[in-house]
Structure 1
Amino acid sequence: MAVSKMSKLTLIAQQGYSEQILSAVQGFQGVEIRDLFEQTVSNDWVEKYFYEVEPLASQDTLTKIDHQLEQITHAIRFVEHHGSSREKGIHLKRQQATLRKLEETFDESVLLSELESIQELESLFSEVRSKQENLHEQESLLQKWQSLDFLPKDYSLHSTKCFLGTADASIWELFDQQLKEKQIHSEVIYSDDHIVNFVLLYLRAEQAEVQELARQFSITAFTYNYSRLPKTELTAIQREIIELVEENKRLARLIGQKKSVIENLETAEEVLLARKNRWLIHDRFIKDDKLFLLQGWIETENFKTFEDFVGNLIGSENLYLEIEEPTSVEITEEIPTKLKNHTLVKPFEMLTEMYSLPKYHEVDPTPWFMPFYFVFFGMMVADAGYGALMLIGTTVALRTILPRGMERFMRFFQILAVPTIMWGLIYNSFFGFSLGYTPILSTSEDVISILVLSIIFGVIQIFIGLGLAARENIKAKNYLGAVSDGFAWQGIMIGAIIGGAGKMLLNSQPLFMIGVGLAGLSALLIIITPMLQSKSKIKGLAKGAYNLYGITSYIGDLVSYTRLMALGISGGSIAAAFNMLVGYMPPIARFSVGILLMLALHGLNIFLSLLSAYVHGARLQYVEFFGKFYEGGGRAFRPLKSEEKYVNIEQEK
Structure 2
Amino acid sequence: MIVKMKFLSISGPRTDIDRVCDVYLSKYEMQLENAVTELKTTDNLLPFVEMNPYKEPLAKAEEFTSKLSAAGTPADTALSTDEIIALIREVNHDYLELQEKKELLKKNKDELLEKLHVLEPFRPLDFDLHKVLHYRYMQLRFGRIGIDYYRKLEKYLFEDLNAIFLEGTRDENFVYGCYFVANTEASKVDSVFNSLHFERITISDEYIGSPAVAYESLEQDISDLDERIDEIDKNIQELLDDKAGKLLGARKRLEELSNNFDVRKMAARVDDNKEDYYILCGWMGEDDVAAFLKESENDDKVFVVVEEDREKFFGEPPTKLKNPKFFKPFEMFIRMYGLPSSNEMDPTVFVALTYTFIFGAMFGDVGQGLSLFVIGGLLYKLKNMNLAGIISVAGLFSAFFGFMFGSVFGFEDIIQAHWLRPMEAMTNLPFIGQLNTVFIVAIAFGMGLNILSMIFHIINAIRAHDTENIWFSTNGIAGLVFYGFIVFTIVLFMTGHQVPGNILMVIFLGIPVLVFVFKEPLTNLAERNHKKLETGKGMFLVQGFFELFETLLSYFSNTLSFVRIGAFAVSHAAIMEVVLMLSGAQEGSPNWVVVVIGNLVVCALEGLIVGIQVLRLEYYEMFSRFYKGSGREFKPFNNHKKQDKN
CA contact (8 A) 2:407 2:417 kept: no
In 2: Cα distance, 1:277 partner to 1:636 partner = 20
The structure 1 residue matched to 2:495, chosen from 491, 500, 505, is: 505
- Residues 310-329 of structure 1: pairs in structure 2 closer than 5 A: 310-311=296-297, 315-328=298-311
1:427 aligns with 2:405: yes
- 1:461–1:504 distance in 2 versus 1, CA, 3 Å: closer
Q: 1:142 aligned to 119, 128, 136, which one?
A: 119
Classify 1:387/1:327 alpha carbon distance in 2 versus 1 (closer, same or farther; 3 Å): same
| 1:636 corresponds to | 633
Deviation at 1:145, TM superposition (A): 1.0
Contact kept? 1:529, 1:544, Cα under 8 Å: no
**Map 1:82-231 → 2, pairs under 5 A:** 89-90=70-71, 107-110=84-87, 113=90, 131-148=108-125, 149-151=127-129, 154=132, 159-180=137-158, 182-184=160-162, 185-225=164-204, 226-229=206-209, 230-231=211-212
Measure how far apart 1:249 and its partner are.
Answer: 5.6
The one-letter code of the counterpart of 1:297 is W
**Separation in 2 of the partners of 1:301 and 1:70?**
35
- 1:19 and 2:18 matched: yes
Structure 2 CA distance for aligned equivalents of residues 383 and 183 of structure 1: 92
Separation (CA, whole Å) in 2 of partners of 1:101 and 1:615: 52
Whether the aligned pair in 2 keeps the contact of 1:501 and 1:512 (CA below 8 Å) is no
Q: Distance in 1 between matches of 2:195 and 2:131?
A: 25
1:469 aligns with 2:457: yes
Whether the 8 Å contact between 1:382 and 1:568 is mirrored in structure 2 is yes
User: CA 1:599/1:16 → structure 2, altered by over 3 Å: closer, same or farther?
Assistant: farther
Amino acid corresponding to residue 403 of structure 2 in structure 1: L
Distance across 1 between alignment mates of 2:154 and 2:371: 77
1:166 deviates by: 0.5
Partner of 1:64: 56
Structure 1 residue 382: Cα displacement: 2.9
Structure 1 CA distance for aligned equivalents of residues 513 and 288 of structure 2: 48
Specify whether residues 619 and 147 from structure 1 end up closer, same or farther in structure 2 by C-alpha distance, changes over 3 A only. Answer: same
Q: Is the 1:159–1:203 contact (alpha carbons within 8 Å) kept by the matching residues of 2?
A: yes
- Report the secondary structure of 1:7's partner residue: strand
- Give the counterpart letter for 1:323 in structure 2: V
| CA separation of 1:478 and 1:322: change in aligned 2, threshold 3 A | closer
Encode CA deviations 1:526-567: one digit per residue, 9 max, x unaligned.
223345456354343233212211222333323332333344
Q: Are residue 297 (structure 1) and residue 283 (structure 2) matched? A: yes
Cα offsets for 1:286-307 (capped at 9, x unmatched): 3467423322222234322111
What CA distance in whole angstroms lies between the structure 1 residues aligned with 2:571 and 2:50? 59
Q: 1:85 maps to which residue? A: none
Taking the aligned partners of 1:161 and 1:133, their CA distance within structure 2 comes to 30
Secondary structure of 2:263 counterpart: coil
CA gap of 1:432–1:103, structure 2 versus 1, over 3 A, is: farther
Match of 1:83 in 2: none
d(CA) in 1 for partners of 2:223, 2:569: 67
Task: Kindly indicate whether residue 483 of structure 2 is the aligned counterpart of residue 483 of structure 1.
Answer: no
1: distance between equivalents of 2:602 and 2:101? 53
Q: Which residue identity lines up with residue 628 of structure 1 in the other structure?
A: R
The CA distance in 2 between the partners of 1:204 and 1:235, in whole Å, is 32
How many residues are matched?
A: 613
> Which residue type is aligned with residue 421 of structure 1?
A
Q: Quick check: 6-15 or 126-135, which moved more?
A: 126-135
Shift of 1:357: 1.7
SS at match of 1:317: coil
User: 1:7 — aligned with what?
Assistant: 6
Query: Which whole-Å CA distance do the structure 1 matches of 2:365 and 2:342 have between them?
Result: 40
Tell me which residue corresponds to 1:84: none
In the other structure, the counterpart of 2:430 is none
Higher helix share: 1
Secondary structure, aligned partner of 1:281: helix
Name the CA shift for 1:377/1:504 in 2 (closer, same or farther; >3 Å): closer
In the alignment, structure 1 residue 553 sits paired with structure 2 residue 536: no
CA distance 1:351–1:506, shift in 2 (3 Å): same
Q: Is the 8 A contact 1:502 1:511 kept in 2?
A: no
For the structure 1 residues 635 and 576, does the alpha-carbon distance in structure 2 shift closer, same or farther, using more than 3 Å as the test? same
What residue in structure 2 maps to residue 308 of structure 1? 294
| 2:627 equivalent to 1:615 | no
- Secondary structure class of the residue paired with 2:207: coil
Match of 1:86 in 2: none
Aligned Cα RMSD in Å? 4.1
Deviation at 1:650, TM superposition (A): 4.3
Residue 45 of structure 1 pairs with residue 41 of structure 2: yes
Q: Distance in 2 between matches of 1:122 and 1:470?
A: 69
Q: 1:237 to 1:322 in 2, by over 3 A?
A: same
Tell me the amino acid that sits aligned with residue 636 of structure 1.
Answer: E
1:226-257 per-residue CA deviation (whole Å, 9 max, x = no partner) reads 33231221221233344345456656666666
Instruction: Provide, for residues 17-75 of structure 1, a one-character-per-residue CA deviation record: whole Å limited to 9, x for no partner.
Output: 3212112344223222221112x5xx2333x2x35xx3222434364256336624xx6
Amino acid at match of 2:146: D
Distance 1:475-1:235 versus aligned 2 partners, 3 A rule? closer
Q: What is the rounded CA distance, in whole Å, between the counterparts of 1:321 and 1:500 in structure 2?
A: 60
Structure 2 partner of 1:518: 508
Percent identity at matched positions? 19
User: Structure 1 residues 215 and 109, CA, compared in 2 at 3 Å: closer, same or farther?
Assistant: same
What code does the residue aligned with 1:454 have? A
Q: Does the CA contact (< 8 Å) of 1:25 and 1:31 recur in 2?
A: no
Contact 1:92/1:267 (<8 A) preserved: no
Whole-Å separation in 2 of the counterparts to 1:472 and 1:414: 31
Q: Match of 2:431?
A: none
**Runs of 5+ unmatched residues, structure 1:** 81-88
Q: Which has the higher contact order (CA 8 A, sep 6+)?
A: 1
